[in-house]
Amino acid sequence: MAQWTSAVGAAQLARLLNSQQDRPAPGTRRPPAYRALADGIRLLVLEGRVPVAARLPAERELALSLSVSRTTVAAAYEALRGEGFLESRRGAGSWTAVPAGNPLPARGLEPLPPEALGSVIDLGCASLPAPEPWLTRAVQGALEELPPYAHTHGDYPAGLPALRAMIAERYTARGVPTMPEQIMVTTGAMGAIDAICHLFGGRGERIAVESPSYANILQLMREAGARLVPVAMAEGLSGWDMDRWRQVLRESAPRLAYVVADFHNPTGALADEDQRRRMVDAARSAGTVLVADETMGQLWLDEKYADGGMPRPVCAFDPAGSTVITVGSASKAFWAGMRIGWVRAAPDVIRSLVAARAYADLGTPVLEQLAVNWLFSTGGWEQALDLRRAQARENRDALVAAVRRELPDWEFEVPEGGLTLWVRAGGLSGSRLAEAGERVGVRVPSGPRFGVDGAFEGYVRLPFTVGGAVADEAAVRLAAAARLVETGATGGAEAPRTFVA
């Protein structure tokens, strides 16, 4: 059985290689043609522009597209095999890989314990402090509503009826008619996606995911036994290559596809309506269930998105309700400690999810559901969101200015919403930067956490969780970490690697 899960055509790979614009430094020799080709493919894999486990074109096809000899391509493939970036088998072709001994970094996303926050700047978690006084008011309002529920058993596997109705009403107000029977309340978005994966994506099932994608969801799917099929994102904030998505869904026929169309984590990209429509059409044609994660959807930071300026929800392009399952959450928009999420799907899917829940967590805490319902019903949610957006916008601008000042070689585009910057770290190893950052007092997750099997080695993710003087100090510490990596003083015996086109 072949080990590849997607394929890269000769013309597509040639375009990607030509986009690297490899220019040797003054006074240096150009490497041999086969070496330059091998280095170019290796860089594309490490940056995630060519997914891991992607079948590469045959030697003759690539040679024709690049206008080089077949011997050059054969030598490049052989060099990549020797370095562990390519695997081959007779009759199955050659597919991309990441060498053994390059595990995903183990640090960077787990929250720091409170006692460490005074000495370490935490850029690991994309979460902001609670938007007070709205958290306190919501909890107080929930306590006032609690007594009638306290006289019941307290188990509501589908969620409190009042909250289900309120969430359905909010979707209807966004132009997507929704009944309470189409809503299940969960323990955060992670609980929602875990339930969906267990219902649709059993062990060994293929799930198509953006590359890069949200690290914790990727790990959840791996632990569920899914076989991840990465689909490379386009450059910058342009986001989704629909031709590539259609090809992958057609050829791999995954049971599920997971996308973050609203201020994508980690890149910050926002899918336009045409991309959303084409994504739904491609999933429907392939018989794939499309899971649309809206957890960042209300965190627009540019005023042009106010008053209905956001694209319609992905589920708006699936009027029959047979293709799209939507996941929402209060955790990013309001507070990570408010572990309330929800699923919007067809009623039969909701019934199946609720039935399966009896063997998982039974239900979501009543008090937290009442708090979110209080926010929705009183207008507190909108006021808290205004506060949250202002804080994230201020933090974003401060962090962008500080990184540009201290690390001018680092490349990124400034997103118009969400909570994260996706940064190409000037040719340095993201894993080494994460390691060095621990030593100088700044915690940052490396790029490979957001890819499949070690891609994006040259990237780090920086969330908008700090501002002002703390953002300035974070950039200073990141620059110190970068110097440690550049000089090889990261604490390990192995010299740091650079990945330069």
Q: DSSP readout, 292-341? A: EE-TTTT-B-SGGGTTTTSPPPGGGG-TT-SSEEEEEESTTTT-TTS--E
**Beta carbons within 10 angstroms of residue 1's beta carbon:** 4
Contact 338, 314 (CB under 8 A): no
Q: In whole angstroms, what separates CA 205 from the centre of its chain?
A: 20
Relative to beta strand 86-89, strand 93-96 is antiparallel
- Token duo for residue 195: 């339930």
Place of tokens 């060519």: 50
pLDDT band at 196, cuts 50/70/90? very high
Amino acid symbol at 402 = A
Contact 300, 389 (CB under 8 A): yes
User: What φ, ψ does residue 177 adopt, rounded to 5°?
Assistant: -55, 130
Dihedral sign for Cα 118, 121, 126, 128, please.
positive
Range 386-412 average pLDDT: 97
Beta bridge partners of 329: 341
- Token duo for residue 124: 């690991």
Mean per-residue pLDDT of the chain: 88
In this prediction, residue 114 carries a pLDDT of 63
CA distance 214 to 236: 16
Residues 6+ apart with CB under 8 A from 389: 299, 300, 301
User: What φ, ψ does residue 214 adopt, rounded to 5°?
Assistant: -65, 120
User: What φ, ψ does residue 211 adopt, rounded to 5°?
Assistant: -130, 100
Beta bridge partners of 184: 343
Q: Report the run of H or E that residue 258 belongs to, with start and end.
A: strand 256-259
CA distance 498 to 241: 28
Percent of the chain with pLDDT over 90: 68
Q: How far is CA 354 from CA 134, 149, 184, 382, 484, in A?
A: 30, 20, 7, 29, 51
Lowest average pLDDT, out of 42-46, 170-174, 492-496, goes to 492-496
Range 261-289 average pLDDT: 96
**Which residue intervals of 174-270 are DSSP H helices?**
188-200, 215-223, 242-252
Contact 286, 245 (CB under 8 A): no
Summarised one tens digit per residue, pLDDT across range 97-156 is 888 765 444 444 666 666 666 678 999 888 899 999 999 999 999 999 999 999 998 889
**Which residue intervals of 185-336 are DSSP H helices?**
188-200, 215-223, 242-252, 273-286
pLDDT band at 357, cuts 50/70/90? confident
Residues 6+ apart with CB under 8 A from 440: 477, 480, 481, 484
Q: How far is CA 207 from CA 78, 98, 343, in A?
A: 30, 20, 18
Lowest average pLDDT, out of 220-224, 296-300, 477-481, goes to 220-224
Range 419-438 average pLDDT: 90
User: What φ, ψ does residue 237 adopt, rounded to 5°?
Assistant: -95, 10
In this prediction, residue 119 carries a pLDDT of 79
pLDDT over 80 at 466, yes or no: yes
pLDDT over 60 at 2, yes or no: no
Answer with the residue of higher pLDDT: 209 or 45. Answer: 209
In this prediction, residue 84 carries a pLDDT of 92
Nearest to 108 by CA among 438, 411, 441, 418: 438
Answer with the residue of higher pLDDT: 29 or 481. Answer: 481
Lowest average pLDDT, out of 207-211, 372-376, 437-441, 490-494, goes to 490-494
User: What φ, ψ does residue 423 adopt, rounded to 5°?
Assistant: -120, 130
Range 358-384 average pLDDT: 92
pLDDT over 70 at 245, yes or no: yes
CA distance 477 to 401: 15
